[in-house]
Structure 1
């Protein structure tokens, strides 16, 4: 039973439509979805218009997402890091199938994406190896220029500069060691000569001086007791010329073929055929 407004003792607010709380959110979401679809349609129209104006260009991936891109030709979403490695070449199921251009995975399956990732890894490995090779080449050229500059100071070639420098270092090291060992003996002889000049303990001083002179006469230090004879400059003494060294460094040089028997001559002995008489011959010689 409806009551009139005059029957109430307080003012009644005007009537308005009441909707469930979830309805408002649904309407808002529907409006946002429609706006998004309209923007998507307008962008698709622009892309289709651009394709109609340039029919000679190949279809390119469109519809960008956050981390994936829609490939129009394949009709699948592709991660942005794998997109540069997606080509017209299919992903074959094995190397044998790749050689015969046989069976391959369908684009979009898990094995297909694994193959694309292997392409990416192989490309990154090749790029890394190329960079390492270029860095090695730069380092090698810098080293060659440094060796050439040092060789000019020594008046020799780049192949023999390290040999000469190492020999000079070893000789300097041996001379320092020799000087360190003989200096006390030379100083002692000076002291004994001063005693003789002053006339102090002449007999004892002459005896010590004679013993010292004998010790100096037998004084000797082996060169290789100080220097390591296993160093490269002593194992390869550099008697080979520079041209021969450059020739021996050929990368495609064949290894020498040595004969199997070096201590004796290999004489090939021909076997003699045994003569077998026929029955007719045996009757004659019987």
Structure 2
């Protein structure tokens, strides 16, 4: 049988349908090639769109102006340069919104952490979160004032101890008594004003009701207009109310009757 087939092929060399059927490959349909490095094909619009702009292409058209967007009026043809610029603006607006959202979330997390910290500190001080800053700042100022007061008065107390030791030892009694008397006078005059060391314009002093110098100056009202004196010298300062005739008594009405 094989010999017969071979002989037939040799007799009719143009008849090669058998070999063609064995070597023919199926036809391939032409498909658009997606260039992922540059552009992407949009099936609905039928245009190539840059990859960075493709996620921002929606069914919403790109209008020619804000007014046209309000009335849903004229819009650009997809694919033109103005349409692409509108998509780029949409991309920039989206990135701005995402960045602002992240910043807002970061601020919110920071605020909650700060409030939690204030609440913890307030529990240690036995107060509320609203007054914790006031109490801490007041304690800091009192501590600083005590340190300053101690620094100024320590030399006087040390000097007193030295002079008293001299009297105990009997050295230069007259001169030592004179110096000790002068030292006691210095102790009597020793005085440090609290607000000469601390800043009375600090917020924690205003919180308690302390009035700053600027506020006191405003309360004087230096720009208040002076009272305008009356130029009418015939006008009396006190005006007499008019009598109503409908409420007069019979005795009062006799005054107004003619004789």
Same fold by TM-score greater than 0.5: yes
Cα distance between partner residues in 2 of 1:204 and 1:73: 110
* Aligned match for 1:228, one of 182, 196, 199: 199
SS at match of 2:162: helix
State whether residues 170 and 227 of structure 1, in contact with CA within 8 Å, keep that contact through their aligned partners in structure 2.
yes
SS at match of 1:64: coil
* Aligned match for 1:64, one of 34, 42, 50: 34
Cα distance between partner residues in 2 of 1:169 and 1:122: 48
Q: Deviations over 1:24-65 (max 9, x none)?
A: xxxxxxxxxxxxxx9x95573xxxxxxxxxxxxxxxxx7411
Aligned match of 2:88: 117
Cα distance between partner residues in 2 of 1:82 and 1:225: 65
Pairwise mapping of residues 95-110 of structure 1 onto structure 2 (< 5 A)? 95-110=66-81
Aligned match of 1:274: none
Cα distance between partner residues in 2 of 1:157 and 1:120: 46
Deviation at 1:94, TM superposition (A): 0.2
Cα distance between partner residues in 2 of 1:170 and 1:97: 63
Q: What TM-score results when the alignment is normalised by the length of structure 1?
A: 0.62
Pairwise mapping of residues 34-183 of structure 1 onto structure 2 (< 5 A)? 41-42=28-29, 44=31, 63-65=33-35, 66-183=37-154
Question: Cα 1:220–1:163, aligned 2, differ >3 Å: closer, same or farther?
Answer: same
Cα distance between partner residues in 2 of 1:140 and 1:189: 54
Q: Which moved more, 1:199-208 or 1:229-238?
A: 229-238
Q: Which runs of 4+ in 1 moved over 3 A?
A: 40-43
State whether residues 91 and 104 of structure 1, in contact with CA within 8 Å, keep that contact through their aligned partners in structure 2.
yes
Cα distance between partner residues in 2 of 1:220 and 1:209: 19
Deviation at 1:218, TM superposition (A): 0.8
* Aligned match for 1:215, one of 167, 186, 193: 186
Query: Where in structure 1 are there 5+ consecutive unaligned residues?
Result: 1-37, 45-61, 240-286
How many residue pairs match? The answer is 189
Q: CA RMSD in A?
A: 2.5
Deviation at 1:238, TM superposition (A): 6.8
Query: Where in structure 2 are there 5+ consecutive unaligned residues?
Result: 1-24, 211-259
Q: What TM-score results when the alignment is normalised by the length of structure 2?
A: 0.69
Aligned match of 2:233: none
Question: Cα 1:110–1:89, aligned 2, differ >3 Å: closer, same or farther?
Answer: same
